[in-house]
Amino acid sequence: DRDRHRDRDDRGGRRRHHRDRDNDREENRGRDRPSRRDERMEEDESEADDAAPVKSFDDLRLKPALLRGIYAYGFERPSAIQQRAIRPIVRGRDVIAQSQSGTGKTAVFSIASLQMLDERVHDPQVLVLSPTRELAEQTQRVMRSLGDFMNVKVHCCIGGKSLGEDLRELQRGGVHVVSGTPGRVFDMIQRR
């Protein structure tokens, strides 16, 4: 019975019956946007673009003032981890980056954060938590240096310094980035 409703092409293969075409049209009617499958494919392509290593900092299309800060800091080319991690972070992806000491991880999140930051908003937009005071201070120094040509203020909140001074600095406004240790930052949030 099926063969009565279907034709065969010259090579013996099955040709679609007009009812099949009509059903396809009916299923696709009203589709103004891509299907979920299409969206997933676009997402996969976008993720592939994110993971593709870049050859230079210029390829990242960063803010000109940030780019000046990067080159003034002494960077010439992105390290392996910087080639792969900066772009996805800037595009809003969650990234876990593991690499040996001294490979440029601090610069990865510093560059990405400074790129995403709105200098016109004079409130904290970035919070960097570090396990030690030394790392929190190092992060502050790196972010200040990279953002040297930007109008960015970075404050370090760590134990061993005046809590009152930290609170006043943040209440005064103008701080874009807070680098600190979990204990001090939590304490400041509690006292807020």
Rounded CA gap, 191 and 98, in Å? 34
Give me the residues paired with residue 157 across strands: 180
Rounded CA gap, 187 and 84, in Å? 35
Residue of 120, 128, 134 whose CA lies nearest to 155: 128
CATH code of the region 119-192 = 3.40.50.300
pLDDT in tens, 29-58: 444 555 555 544 444 445 556 668 899 999
pLDDT in tens, 69-115: 999 999 999 999 999 999 999 999 999 999 999 999 999 999 999 99
Q: What pTM was computed for the model? A: 0.73
Q: What is the dihedral of CA 119, 91, 76, 63, to 10 degrees?
A: -30
Tell me the domain boundaries of the chain. 42-116, 119-192
Mean pLDDT of the chain: 82
In the chain, what's the furthest Cα-to-Cα distance?
89
Query: Residue 157 — φ and ψ, nearest 5°?
Result: -115, 100
pLDDT in tens, 3-36: 444 444 444 444 444 444 444 444 444 445 555 5
